[in-house]
Amino acid sequence: MTRIALGVQYDGAAFGGWQSQPHGNTVQNELERALREFAQTPVHTVVAGRTDAGVHGLGQVVHFDTELDRADVSWVRGPNSFLPKTIGVQWAKQMPDEFHARFSAFERTYYYVLYVNPVRSPMLATRAGWVHTPLDVDAMRTGAAHLIGEHDFSSFRSSQCQSKTPIKHLYQIDVLQQGNFIHFRFRANAFLHHMVRNLMGCLIEIGRGRRPAEWMMDVLASRSRDCAAPTFMPDGLYLAQVGYPEQFAVPAPQTGSVPWSTVWTEQPQT
């Protein structure tokens, strides 16, 4: 058996999340259908991070095992010929048996794109979150700084979360304003279900002036979902990159086709 890793991008707006479901309208369902058509045999994929309905993938990584001997490029072009336009394999690479898309990963990075304008834009309906009032970016940065480090993030965890532990290490939250857009970057060893969207909900409360930046410490310390803000919309959330040990030489995500993904290109990882 040969282990193959794929880099996958998708527009999550039309799908019910990543994970396979009986109704079939998920990214995993579509990808495995395309792989089955190409390989002429069932293929089961293992994913780095399961994204929710409406969440997009820029740097998603999966792996699967196969008895077929095909060139790496064939695992890009073949499945792509059977995939809808909203899903695309960006790269393929044969991996050693010890590589695991989920368990070999040591960090994940998410972007959130927020559009700030009195009137919503239909052109951004599924590509960015939206608020209609100005936000205090400096206050949001201060609030975000209270979250950096290893903590119990139960306050930002959904009731459906299946993670064995709520303790995660949040390495970085960056907030950058460009015109009517505010860009957020979250980097951690792993994330809980709805964690980024729940963090966004709290940051926006602070940005609106409804809560002081120090409130974030109280929410974190409470370990109670009831103390945090409502879960924010999924539309502007992107799984940007998954980090792996250098020994696996996992290709970098091909994000040039998404304009706002280049916002962070020259911004250092702190």
Residue 142 DSSP label: H
CA distance 262 to 20: 30
Assess whether 65 carries a catalytic annotation: no
Give me 31's structure tokens: 């990808």
Q: Please count the CA atoms within 13 angstroms of the CA of 154 that sit on its side-chain side.
A: 10
Q: Is 110 annotated as a binding residue?
A: yes
Question: 62 forms bridges with which residues in the sheet?
Answer: 6, 47
* Residue given tokens 């939250």 in the structure block: 173
Start-to-end CA distance of the chain, whole Å, equals 40
Question: 178 forms bridges with which residues in the sheet?
Answer: 181
* Residue given tokens 């950096």 in the structure block: 148
The active-site residue out of 11, 52, 174, 235 is 52
CA distance 44 to 62: 10
* Listed residue (226, 232, 152) closest to 184, CA to CA: 232
CA distance 93 to 59: 14
Pairing of strands 56-66, 237-243: parallel
- The secondary structure element, H or E, covering residue 1 is none
Catalytic positions are 52
> Which residues fall in the annotated binding site for substrate?
110
